[in-house]
Chain A
Amino acid sequence: MEFEAVIGLEVHAQVSTKSKLFCACSTKFGAGPNENTCPGCSCVPGTLPVLNRKVVEYSIRTALATSCTVQRKSVFDRKNYFYPDLPKAYQISQYELPIARNGHIDIEVGGQGKRIGVNRIHIEEDAGKLVHEGDLSGAQASLVDLNRSGMPLMEIVSEPDMRTPEEAVAYLRNLRDILLYLDVCDGNMEEGSFRCDANVSIRPKGQEKLGTKAELKNMNSFRNVERAVEYEIRRQIELVEDGGKVVQETRLWDAEAGVTMSMRRKEEAHDYRYFPDPDLLPLMVEDSWVEELRGTIPELPGPKIERLAGQYGIPKYDAGILASSRKLADFFEASVAIFNGAPKTTANECVHWKEAILSEKLSPETIAHAVEDRENGTISATASKKLVTAVLETGKPFRSLRDEKGLTQVSDTSALDAIVDQVLAASPKEVESYRGGKTGLLSFFVGQVMKESRGKANPKIVQEVIRKKLG
């Protein structure tokens, strides 16, 4: 029997506001234990939550960017469970009435486009963190760090629309790109500001009814999501083929062992006893605010790729790399605005110097000048790379370095004549072979001329001169 996998993803994205969801504490990463806490987020009796408006704003922008419908009324609920890192013993989340519903994100895998549904987006607070003294099993004590308590999160829940691990990763990458474009989440998976749980089930191909799902946790990179989902699909198929049955459970991904392991069965699942938090009134969002925020949504990666490819005549693949970062794409367009003679080359250069561009060490002029000088033959490709490296090292303008270092290319045929003659005279055997039909030796002669000219000769012109002389 042939099986198909059904994958749904739940992403917890930490909203990059300066302060926490319900108090004024800093959200900065890396503070000492319990430094970013107050009576509010350490849940001292009597303190009350006050909603951070900015978190709502960022969530609405995310909703609009994923084509969700923003709900006029949403409600914060208490999700009750006991754990030492949860100081109120309930988490404030949204359950029945989330801030947004019914959106989608478009992905492309192997040249095939697909639309993945977004079921809902809701706002919730994060819990604290336990630090165990010694290893977990033999720990003498566990310490509670509440810096993370009350951090603002958006939970973005997809529809179970993905069928392969590749689709799952494509969805995650696109979602992360969108959040980065909006500047609402820093997308850092290692620091936990972009976390993903995956619901995986299998069913015989052609069957509509969903199979029993397992929820996978603890995957801290795209690669791990891919591996974990892949493993889990295989495990479930093998289990069913051996006559077994998939049980509903939560499974932890062990990246080192490359396996998922059962953490908790459905019977052990919590009854969270959700109910509306009486400390917070229902959240009412006015249409005018939503419309105002709609105006702040930048061009998103999907449409940007289409536009860059169409407008500049560059391959979609290149446009995709450029659009993977709003900064890189903007840089590319700024560069092309300075020199528009060879957008494809400009795109290549932007991809090549991506790291430097993203860390703001290069200006669009540098790349524009590098491309322009190369295109009109003033410098060679090698010289261009050398000069950009020199710009990075010295911070001096590209063209002053070019002139300073005398890296301008010799394109004047009369100036090259003498060198070409010299090279040909020194290699009579090769000249004979060439004339005998071994035209592949052309590159040998070009190489010799380049060497003699110490890289300054324009290889295109050199080729022409040699061809003429030997023709």
Chain B
Amino acid sequence: MSNTNIHEWTLLEAAQNIREGKVSSREVTKAILDRISELDPKINSYITVLPEDAMAAAAACDEEQAKGSPLGPLHGVPIGLKDLFCTRGIRTTCGSRALAQFVPPYDAAVAEKVRSSGAVLLGKHNMDEFAMGASTESSWFGPTRNPWKLSCIPGGSSGGTAAAVAASLCFAGVGTDTGGSIRQPASFCGVVGMKPTYGRVSRHGIVALAASLDQAGPLTRSVADAAALLEVIAGHDRRDSTSVNLPVPDYLSATKKPVTGMRIGLPKEYFEIEGLDSGVKAAMERVLKSLTEQGASVVEVSLPHTGYAPSVYCLIASAEASTNVARYDGVRYGFRAEGDQGFAEMMSKTRAELFGEEVKRRIMIGTYALSAEHYDALYVKAQKVRTLIRRDFEEAFQKADVLLTPTTPVTAFPPGEKTKDPLTMYLVEALTMPCNLAGIPGISVPCGFSEEGLPVGAQLLAGSFREETMFAAAGAIERAIPSPRVMPALRVD
């Protein structure tokens, strides 16, 4: 078999070819490592690449297979993890200076599950500092670029993972989504990105951004890949008190189910959003048409509190984040500013040097929202509105099985353009945040390109633990609008 096109395989194809002995894990791993050496200097999607570890793991996989040992579903397939999943003995930076030297003494639940599925860990993906951002510009390890157009951002905060998957620098990756951090970069990079229901995947070992919103999920090049990878990482974990004890369904079969009779809800507020790109709008119309052609019906729904989502998100996520990053005080984890007089000064100096703009901004907002004086007017009120947002969805799902929306109002844009204005930047996630606030699952599926040739993503949302319905609709979109198997051009203009 010709191995020149290895990188074009999907995750499931790679797994199948290795399992059937058509190719060895070493060959596949080597091919991807070579590709990383060649292309990643331009994209910067990895913070840490593990060539020796990966080749050793691949060799061990081949050996196991030769012995006839039982094989995991992702046996021998090289994948990557966003650099906020703790990996035992492997530096886990969270894109930050604070953890630039942090080597965890344990594996995150996701890392354990990925390893026990037989997958080979290639490395750790770039991300916004402490996952605070939507552009992967704020990483201490430099920005990641969009493989479709290097002068554009890949989205974020799982921008490294989305870019690496898009450029075939791994067969799949696991990211995290707090306000859209999987779906939004997936949309910008033309890959599938899925955020499961809150509690579906264990948060044990994820360096937290906002505990009540964070959820890990797959980034892949096909819907079936996303379903297969979710099956691997989902499941109850006693080490995470918010993990839900429900069996993991057969998501892969769900992706092949017909959508005949499925009620597709169109939340009108999502289409009325300011600055909705005409290319995005056109793509949505194509998606809708394809779904109705396959037998789905369309119903307009209303999510009246959508407009409050960015403010609510900003307050809650910042409040939680401000206390999560409080532990980086110079006492542990390496970095400490010099020339202090006692603890208070050491800590202030350290933290002043340690954090970037966006992290500092969120610490300020969060601390303010939690202060005794403003707690009721800001944090408590935000929680109340969060409940209203959740109820909006509950009502909408009385009328519709899934909701269809654009993932983002716009396509990828050049760095600095929007990040200069934090409010505009939050709006890039305006359509993805409500899903996190409600705890429901969401997926972004590629649905074509804008006139400029940049990928557009369609977002599907479903009720809690209704991932199967969502996967069925996602599969239908993918079948109707196949992402041509062209690799991004790494265009520079």
Interface residues of A (CB under 8 A from B): 39, 43-51, 78, 80, 82-84, 87-90, 144, 271, 273-275, 277-281
- In the complex, how many residues of chain B place their beta carbon closer than 8 angstroms to a beta carbon of chain A? 42
The 4 closest A-B pairs by CB, nearest first: A89-B326, A278-B212, A273-B370, A278-B211
Distance between Cα atoms of A368 and B194 in the complex (Å)? 76
* Most-contacted residue by chain B among A39, A45, A87, A277 (CB, 10 A): A45
7 additional contacts, CB 8 Å, given A80-B370, A87-B327?
A39-B105, A44-B105, A46-B106, A82-B329, A278-B211, A278-B212, A281-B242
Distance between Cα atoms of A49 and B240 in the complex (Å)? 7
CB-based contact A50/B238 at 8 Å: yes
In angstroms, how far is the closest chain B Cβ from the Cβ of A91? 11
Q: A273-B370, A275-B379 are in contact. Are A44 and B326 (CB under 8 A)?
A: no
Instruction: Give the secondary structure class of B's interface.
Output: loop
* Most-contacted residue by chain A among B203, B326, B347, B371 (CB, 10 A): B326
Number of A-B contacts (CB under 8 A): 95
Q: Which residues of B contact A45 (CB under 8 A)?
A: 86, 92, 94, 99, 102, 104, 207-208, 327
In angstroms, how far is the closest chain B Cβ from the Cβ of A444? 76
In angstroms, how far is the closest chain A Cβ from the Cβ of B101? 13
CB-based contact B326/A88 at 8 Å: yes
CB-based contact A47/B204 at 8 Å: yes
Q: A48-B239, A50-B239 are in contact. Are A82 and B347 (CB under 8 A)?
A: yes
In angstroms, how far is the closest chain B Cβ from the Cβ of A27? 20
Interface string of B349-391 (1 = CB under 8 A from A): 0000000000000000001001110010001000000000000
Q: A84-B343, A144-B331 are in contact. Are A46 and B207 (CB under 8 A)?
A: yes
Q: Which residues of A contact B204 (CB under 8 A)?
A: 46-48
Q: Which residues of B contact A84 (CB under 8 A)?
A: 329, 331, 343
In angstroms, how far is the closest chain B Cβ from the Cβ of A223? 33
Q: A78-B323, A144-B331 are in contact. Are A279 and B206 (CB under 8 A)?
A: no
Could you say which of A44, A48, A88 contacts B240, with CB atoms under 8 Å apart?
A48
Interface string of B153-193 (1 = CB under 8 A from A): 00000000000000000000000000000000000000000
Could you say which of A44, A82, A271, A278 contacts B320, with CB atoms under 8 Å apart?
A278
Q: A82-B329, A273-B372 are in contact. Are A46 and B205 (CB under 8 A)?
A: yes
CB-based contact B329/A48 at 8 Å: no
CB-based contact B332/A87 at 8 Å: yes
Query: Can you pick out 25 interface pairs between chain A and chain B where the beta carbons lie within 8 Å of each other?
Result: A39-B104, A43-B327, A44-B105, A46-B85, A46-B104, A46-B205, A46-B206, A50-B238, A51-B241, A78-B323, A80-B323, A82-B344, A84-B329, A87-B331, A88-B326, A89-B329, A90-B326, A273-B367, A275-B323, A275-B370, A277-B211, A278-B242, A278-B320, A279-B241, A281-B241
In angstroms, how far is the closest chain B Cβ from the Cβ of A39? 5
Q: Which residues of B contact A46 (CB under 8 A)?
A: 84-86, 92, 104, 106, 108, 204-208
Q: Which residues of B contact A44 (CB under 8 A)?
A: 86, 104-106
Distance between Cα atoms of A47 and B207 in the complex (Å)? 8
CB-based contact B371/A273 at 8 Å: yes
Task: Scan residues 60-114 of chain B and give those whose CB is less than 8 A from a CB of chain A.
Answer: 84-86, 92, 94, 99, 102, 104-106, 108
In angstroms, how far is the closest chain A Cβ from the Cβ of B372? 5
Q: Which residues of A contact B212 (CB under 8 A)?
A: 278
CB-based contact A90/B241 at 8 Å: no
Could you say which of B104, B105, B108, B211 contacts A279, with CB atoms under 8 Å apart?
B211
Q: Which residues of A contact B105 (CB under 8 A)?
A: 39, 44
In angstroms, how far is the closest chain A Cβ from the Cβ of B243? 9
B210 adjacent to chain A (CB < 8 Å): yes
Nearest chain-A residue to B213 (Cβ)? A278
Could you say which of A39, A50, A88 contacts B106, with CB atoms under 8 Å apart?
A39
In angstroms, how far is the closest chain B Cβ from the Cβ of A331? 43
Distance between Cα atoms of A383 and B39 in the complex (Å)? 98
Interface string of B331-347 (1 = CB under 8 A from A): 11000000000011001
B319 adjacent to chain A (CB < 8 Å): yes
Nearest chain-A residue to B351 (Cβ)? A82
Nearest chain-B residue to A83 (Cβ)? B343
Distance between Cα atoms of A144 and B94 in the complex (Å)? 25
* Most-contacted residue by chain B among A277, A278, A281 (CB, 10 A): A278
Q: Which residues of B contact A88 (CB under 8 A)?
A: 326-327
In angstroms, how far is the closest chain A Cβ from the Cβ of B115? 16
Q: A273-B371, A275-B370, A275-B375 are in contact. Are A48 and B327 (CB under 8 A)?
A: no
Q: Which residues of A contact B242 (CB under 8 A)?
A: 278-279, 281
Nearest chain-A residue to B333 (Cβ)? A45
In angstroms, how far is the closest chain B Cβ from the Cβ of A175? 30
CB-based contact A273/B347 at 8 Å: no
Q: Which residues of B contact A39 (CB under 8 A)?
A: 104-106
Distance between Cα atoms of A63 and B326 in the complex (Å)? 34
